Structure 1
Amino acid sequence: MTMYAALLRGINVGGAKKLPMAELRQLMIGLGHGGVRTHLQSGQAVFASDHGDEESLAAELADAIGERFGFSVDVIVRDHAYLRAVAEACPFPAAELEARQLHVTYFSAPVDAARFAEIDRETYLPEEFRLGERELYLYVPDGLGRSRLAEHLSKRRLTKDLIATTRNWNTVVKLVELTAE
């Protein structure tokens, strides 16, 4: 069995798309997944599965949530090896930063640097971002809520045709730990 993390976008935020974690766990168990655990209330679940791949597992979970809760949720599923590789490849000094200063945006598919080429990076300094294959690392010294760069990066035209969901560094590390078990 492979351990995975499911990253749900935009649930339990500001009173919208309420999805109780206990009900999410039961739903996932009903889909035949083992070792189901949730982390926080903002849409992370880890589980073991021996069927499907990341895309089919994400689609299956998104469909099941829609049927059970009556609203659509974007879902990205990633396995432990990927999550660990993302944490290990961080281009910023994670051990020296506060978790609120470092984030990873996970994308549903590989991203091309050309998508972000129009951004004048100098304008946003000391905030910075670096692209991986299916992820974007974001350094925001004053936190995400005050970040002009994060606001710019979240514009729909930059993420067109992709699911994108962002997690702070504590969550990135925790998902690696939880999927290692």
Structure 2
Amino acid sequence: MDKAKKAALALAAMLDRFYALIAAIVLGILGLVGIAPRPTAAGLAQAVLDQEPPPTPEAAAEEEATPDLGWLVKDHAAQRVGRRPVGMPALAPLPAVVAAWLDGQDPVQLRRLAGHDLAARLIQQHVLSGTGGCLPSLGYVLKPTRSTPQAHVHRAGEGSAGKGSMRVDLNDVLQDLGYAPAGPRFR
């Protein structure tokens, strides 16, 4: 691309930004006065797309975890196989889920975790990613799951459903899950 085309593209981009700035200023002044145009679906969709997306659960989990979680797991594994030198400062405790996972490791897996061939960042990534872990031979660190309550199932003869059919009452299921119906039903 020659210099003239680059200059033309740069000028076009600058004019586009300048036009957007002028339009924003004019619409802002009209909005303060109360003469703003009505919002359109396209404008609303563009505003939503321009917003910063909410953080994903994976990003939130990575922020909550300490950056040295991989090293901490390596040190705990080294201590369990007897490779941690005497006189070192006490280790910080592991999160309960990670400690339970480490308790389930056999001596070969513990030596692999404590060894120099496995990077701490890979261990941390494996620990934080659940079943998507990158080291499947070490098993997965799973967060405890909440057991789901059983729904009340009415068999034939108990309810008004037909012979041999099963009927699940939605209100019973919601109450089992801890949600109470709020207010009257609207149809």
Structure number with higher helix proportion: 2
Structure number with higher strand proportion: 1
Give the TM bin, normalised by the shorter chain. Answer: under 0.3
* Larger-gyration structure (1/2): 2
The two structures have a TM-score, normalised by structure 1, of: 0.21
Higher relative contact order (CA 8 A, sep 6+): 1
